[in-house]
Structure 1
């Protein structure tokens, strides 16, 4: 990678290592389809739906050594329709395609315009509200104890 000012990544499942993270002068911005620090990890959209949450969103954040743990630059939110809870996998695809993907593009546009104007937003994530859920594309996700995560959270 040649010298550059900023790196960007969106909803990437690949970890960007230290050597690459330090190439851009300003660092890397990433887009994560959740309201970080909630739902860190690969399957953030599906977990928000499985946990019967009514709100989710997207976050532009500064990459660091942790997975989805960097400082927050920008966020926006959206509703999760109640009927989405009936089919989490299918609904996650729909929510990504129709709402969270376009939201990420708008958030990146805001971030990049601000950076071009010399404004760099950074706010540490509040660890008190952080969650990390496993990838839903593994066979263990359908273990009864993991399926109870959504049930327990909806009944507390």
Structure 2
């Protein structure tokens, strides 16, 4: 069996299973490319990426760069890698680096390409109400997420699954797919086919994308909350303060409420939408810890109806 010399580029936790799987394979991970240490937490402590931490544990050299240009390109090219592998690195690979590895680069992307090309495929698929998603390993080309496909897997999206949970699951199954593709490339058995289907885009989410619009139907509201959890997070404004919504479900048997109208009905904390009310399960008030929605409601200054904006 042929062994390939790899350079791996990745940064967040979702890329860790791929790195560990490749490190345990028959192939040689010559170096890891990841983003530079960044301030984390209230104290702004400089913290390495999850991929950098695992690379250190594995004893794999790291190249830290926020852009794959200049010195980073020279360092990666000098590795003499057979194949570049990228999983959620957080930056673009352009020429001349794109052609530096003998066999080019492949990318593990967490969607059924060409659906959801871009930085936030898992989040966008949940927000859109997709019932099916997956992971794709494709050849990296200059155009965004447009290269020929080496392999793909499909996975159902659970009705209560958040983007965080779904990404964790796809990171594991995608890592297995990635190793199979690298093995096939090494053995000369890999076949890449053009992407087929309608192209949709998945741009990076902003903080404001997490604002809940209660004038939408209940299923759209809940899908948004699931899709932006844990990042960037769902929120509304109540009494002039931001209220994060961590978990919510459709209350199908509850009486209708005006959109944004929030009140307690028995043990349920409900907020109106354009259709069924939504039951708040877990919330995170400003300046406090996350808590059960009922406990939060009882702690308010007045146990009365309110309007979320």
Q: What's the TM-score once normalised by structure 1's chain length?
A: 0.81
Partner of 1:22: 99
Let me know the Cα RMSD of the aligned residues. 2.2
Partner of 2:83: 6
Q: Structure 2: which 5+ runs fail to align? A: 1-75, 224-309
Q: Structure 1: which 5+ runs fail to align? A: 85-90
Higher RCO structure, 1 or 2 (CA under 8 Å, sep 6+):
1
Partner of 1:114: 184
Within a 5 Å distance, the mapping from 1:6-155 to structure 2 comes to 6-84=83-161, 91-97=162-168, 99-126=169-196, 128-139=197-208, 142=211
- Looking at secondary structure, tell me which structure has more helix per residue: 1
- Looking at secondary structure, tell me which structure has more strand per residue: 2
After superposition, the Cα gap between the structure-2 partners of 1:80 and 1:62, relative to the gap in structure 1 and judged at 3 Å, is: same
How far off its partner does 1:138 sit?
A: 4.8
Deviations 1:81-140 (A, max 9, x none): 1123xxxxxx1111111x1001111011111111121112211112x4111122113536
Deviations 1:51-85 (A, max 9, x none): 1111000000100001111111100011101123x
Larger Rg: 2
Aligned residues: 141
Q: What's the TM-score once normalised by structure 2's chain length?
A: 0.42
Partners of 1:58 and 1:12 in 2: how far apart? Answer: 16
